[in-house]
Amino acid sequence: MAAHNERVVREGTVDPTPEQLERLLDMPPSAKLVYYVLDRAEDPLSSNEIAGRTLLSKRTARYALNELQEIDVVRERPEIMDARKRRYELTVSEPQ
């Protein structure tokens, strides 16, 4: 298992902290699915891309993203080419 900066890397995944994991397990299935998709994405995704990959409605995808942001496992970043648009990625956890 290799660590790069603050990211804990395990076969392309980001490990949540124990507290985040406990809260993640209590999340609705849609939030767990969005987490899974973001965990396997090579680059940050838009909410539309997440909805497309998960087959969730756009509204449900946004709700799941908000739930994941509340427990600090997902962060929102402005898109480089258009700051009005947002991209989502998993937050980086501190190595334990």
3 close to 9: Cβ distance less than 8 angstroms: yes
Q: Report the candidate in 3, 11, 8, 4 with the shortest Cα–Cα distance to residue 20.
A: 8
Query: pLDDT per residue over 70-82, tens digit each?
Result: 999 999 999 989 9
Where do the domains of the chain lie, and which CATH numbers do they carry?
2-90 (1.10.10.10)
Average pLDDT over residues 25-30: 94
The pTM of the whole model exceeds 0.95 = no
- Show contacts of 54-63: CB within 8 Å, 24+ apart: 54/30, 56/30, 60/30, 61/30, 61/34, 63/30
- Decide if pLDDT at 41 tops 80: yes
Confidence bin at 13 (pLDDT 50/70/90): low
